Structure 1
Amino acid sequence: MTEPAKMRVKEIRIFPIKSIRGMSLPSHRASAVGFEHDRIFMLQRVSDSKNMHVPHFPSMCLFTTEFAPNSEDPDKVLVRFGLDHVFDQPERKLSGNEVLEVPIRPDVAGLKSVEYKLHTSVARGYVMPDEICRWFSERFGFEVRLNYVGLNKREVLGNLNPNAPRTWVGDPDPKKEADKMMSPSGGGWLNGLKAGVGNVLGTVASYSGIDAYKGVDDGLTFTDLAAFLVVNYKSHVDVSGRVQTDIDVEKFRPNIVVDGVDEECGAWSEDYWGEIAIGPEERGTRIAFTSNCARCASVNVDYATGRMHEGPEGQLLKSMQGDRRVDPGFKYSPIFGRYGFLSQKNGQRPEKPITIRVGDEVQITKRNDKRTHFYWPNLGT
């Protein structure tokens, strides 16, 4: 008799438009840049070109997204707004389409190209047509634009890159290690680069010294810092208990939620996960973790009102401050979740997107002896 899997994929989520609400799917295709259609659009305030994130614009949580029902290969995302009036202006009733249809693969030939910077990583995108931007502007009450990433990608910086030098990931202070590699006393940037290549993970670093699997770095879309964000459901239960209410796991914006029945996936055990395998061994799907995910005030947003929560949920971030500030690279922020990248056994890249399904078995293929230490230039501490 086959022993039942100890861990499985509990949920799969994608967020086509960054920082507004996403969708839960029974299965989805994944590639080196993450799940297909995840964070391929991002809103910006026009007046100052500010990237819009839900902790700074809480009303973003009033927008929901979904694919057309029974659509196996969707060509558009359907967007709805939770109010019948402009946010914070109930006297200004909305008219026109209640549902906005945003093409997932727009023709960029006629779209304006713009440069954007997200967490100091720069790339180019495209401004979606006026009628789409106007629909969002009418609901926010100020002018916004919706940017599409297209085929453009951002650079993965610091030690989050799955091919970062081994010492960057395991060093007690990865910033010092990075500075040393690039300094004249350390041989200058050229010798530093050579040393880095000699040390390069071509593998993702492990504190235990176990050989890792080659990480795939194809850049980033509008995702924050990595291709995938994985959270442990047991940790979610722990967090919910701190404010004595069932917190919507979507507030933590995971791509994959895993759950299991033993100590391998006990609350906060994911802090030490170096790599997981998902699904049948012959599929060879692995995610290599390079960093922790630091949390911000976005978890305190009330999804019903589009404002910061006034009840116990408004204390969610504070409830994690006492014992979850466990990464010296983010010493003022609590940690929940692991950032990772697709990896393949024996260094073989996936030739085509891989499908990950709810219910897939999950195995921990590598554990670290210590927690990873976050380093991304000009971010963290």
Structure 2
Amino acid sequence: MKITALYVYPIKALRGIDLKSAQIGPQGVSHDRRFMLYEVHPSTGELKKIQLDSHPRCALFEQQIVPGSQYGESTVVVRYHSNPPQDSGTGEEDNALKVPLEPDMSTLEKMDVVLHSSPAAAYRMGDSYDAWFSQRFGVNTILVYLGDGRRAVLGKTLPPKAAQEQQQRGWVSSLTSYITGSQGSVETPWVTFSDVAPLMVTSESSLRDVRDRLLNGLPVEMYKFRPNIVVDGQGEDPWAEDFWAELTITPGQDQGDNGVGPEEHTLQLTGNCVRCISLNVDYKTGKPAEGDPGQVLKRLMKDRRVDTGSKWAPVFGRYAFLDGRHTDGITVSVGDDAEVTRRNTERTVWDWPGL
């Protein structure tokens, strides 16, 4: 197989950025989902996560990472593509928001946030950012940065050694020990604002099956499934990834021609991704799609409800962690070889408490 696409999402839920090469560490692709948006209840102040399923307007926000040479520091540039487009005289389409990729946390207000029952300390980016997003979402919105915060992995979607230790302690005990810092003999993996694992791997062979068999040829773009790593699935049956346990990536020959051969990189694939109505969002309108494009989730549910831990949700893709041996991280590129080097005999079971 070959890697055919790589994506990063600096601000969770907004459009992804297509990469040719990616730096990957224990928390996934560099800068992935380090920022997140929350809706603030006007009277109670309660925070509600902003994601595509509940806020389809997220699809109208485009992100771009701009190196520091242009603005003085590396920046995430966000542009809002309003629908219908604003009159050109307003300058709306060119009114970009520039977010520092690595903000100075000493100047930011610290606050506690929760995503999928996993709490974290984060930093509020400030009024100017909040006002920009609030105007476009039409609700009181805040932008937060994870910074030095971290979220515990609550379910069993963990690499094998960490999963074994968590099973011995139980997830409540694991969360407590994670917060207090007494994490046992295995360094406990943690996540940013990614849902439950640092990486998402998907297969083009499975997407073709969705298009050809379930949607009668209706085109559906892979970016709607919000992966980090896409493989072509060559030599693998559609949905074979349900059983993938380990994926070994080998850089192309031009990257490994150093006399000793290319270095192999290993990912541990630990759980299925169960899907929600975000698949039905029209990225041109920022609304639920009409007609057949709005039926993607329903069509998948016909025969892809294959995870007994989440029996009402269809599966597409696998969650993954970088193997713990790669302490310095790895670099992967489009065109790299990918090989399944370990398979499960049975499907893994969804197991995130309360989600």
The question of a shared fold, defined as TM-score above 0.5 by the shorter chain, is answered with yes
CA distance in 2, matches of 1:298, 1:147: 22
CA distance in 1, matches of 2:311, 2:298: 14
Which position in structure 2 is the counterpart of 1:16?
Answer: 10
Letter in 1 for 2:200: L
Give the SS at the match of 1:240: helix
Give the SS at the match of 1:226: coil
**Cα separation, partners in 2 of 1:26 and 1:70, compared to 1, 3 Å:** farther
Residue 296 in structure 1 maps to residue 276 in structure 2: yes
Which position in structure 2 is the counterpart of 1:258?
Answer: 231
CA distance in 1, matches of 2:334, 2:185: 30
**Cα separation, partners in 2 of 1:66 and 1:96, compared to 1, 3 Å:** closer
Would you say how many aligned residue pairs link Structure 1 and Structure 2?
329
Moved more, 278-287 or 26-35: 278-287
**Cα separation, partners in 2 of 1:74 and 1:359, compared to 1, 3 Å:** farther
**Cα separation, partners in 2 of 1:96 and 1:343, compared to 1, 3 Å:** closer
Post-superposition CA distance 1:137-160 (Å, at most 9, x none): 111122200010102110011211
Cα root mean square deviation, aligned: 3.1
Shift of 1:284: 3.3
Which position in structure 2 is the counterpart of 1:196?
Answer: none
CA distance in 2, matches of 1:223, 1:302: 22
Which position in structure 2 is the counterpart of 1:355?
Answer: 331
Which position in structure 2 is the counterpart of 1:269?
Answer: 240
Shift of 1:94: 7.3
Shift of 1:283: 2.5
Which position in structure 2 is the counterpart of 1:77?
Answer: 76
Which position in structure 2 is the counterpart of 1:197?
Answer: none
TM-score by length of 2: 0.85
Which position in structure 1 is the counterpart of 2:32?
Answer: 38
1:233-252 aligned within 5 A: 233-241=204-212, 242-243=214-215, 244-252=217-225
Moved more, 267-276 or 138-147: 138-147
CA contact (8 A) 1:86 1:94 kept: no
**Cα separation, partners in 2 of 1:29 and 1:167, compared to 1, 3 Å:** closer
CA distance in 2, matches of 1:288, 1:12: 17
CA distance in 1, matches of 2:120, 2:67: 33
**Cα separation, partners in 2 of 1:46 and 1:70, compared to 1, 3 Å:** closer
Which position in structure 1 is the counterpart of 2:352?
Answer: 376
CA contact (8 A) 1:85 1:94 kept: no
Post-superposition CA distance 1:255-287 (Å, at most 9, x none): 00001432xx22100011000011247533111
**Cα separation, partners in 2 of 1:182 and 1:266, compared to 1, 3 Å:** closer
Shift of 1:85: 7.7
Segments of 4+ moved more than 6 angstroms: 69-74, 84-87
Of the candidates 56, 65, 68, which is equivalent to residue 67 of structure 1?
Answer: 65
Shift of 1:74: 7.4
Letter in 1 for 2:277: A
Residue 101 in structure 1 maps to residue 95 in structure 2: no
CA distance in 2, matches of 1:373, 1:167: 18
CA distance in 2, matches of 1:303, 1:314: 11
**Cα separation, partners in 2 of 1:367 and 1:71, compared to 1, 3 Å:** farther
Which position in structure 2 is the counterpart of 1:174?
Answer: none
CA contact (8 A) 2:309 2:350 kept: yes
CA distance in 1, matches of 2:218, 2:73: 35
Of the candidates 292, 296, 301, which is equivalent to residue 312 of structure 1?
Answer: 292
Letter in 1 for 2:79: R
**Cα separation, partners in 2 of 1:154 and 1:367, compared to 1, 3 Å:** same
Residue 232 in structure 1 maps to residue 229 in structure 2: no
1:137-216 aligned within 5 A: 137-162=134-159, 163-166=161-164
Identity %: 38
**Cα separation, partners in 2 of 1:266 and 1:110, compared to 1, 3 Å:** same
**Cα separation, partners in 2 of 1:40 and 1:335, compared to 1, 3 Å:** same
CA contact (8 A) 1:164 1:201 kept: no
Give the SS at the match of 2:54: coil
**Cα separation, partners in 2 of 1:270 and 1:96, compared to 1, 3 Å:** closer
TM-score by length of 1: 0.79
**Structure 2 segments unaligned to the other structure (5+ residues):** 178-183, 252-260
CA contact (8 A) 1:158 1:164 kept: no
Letter in 2 for 1:326: V
**Cα separation, partners in 2 of 1:167 and 1:373, compared to 1, 3 Å:** farther
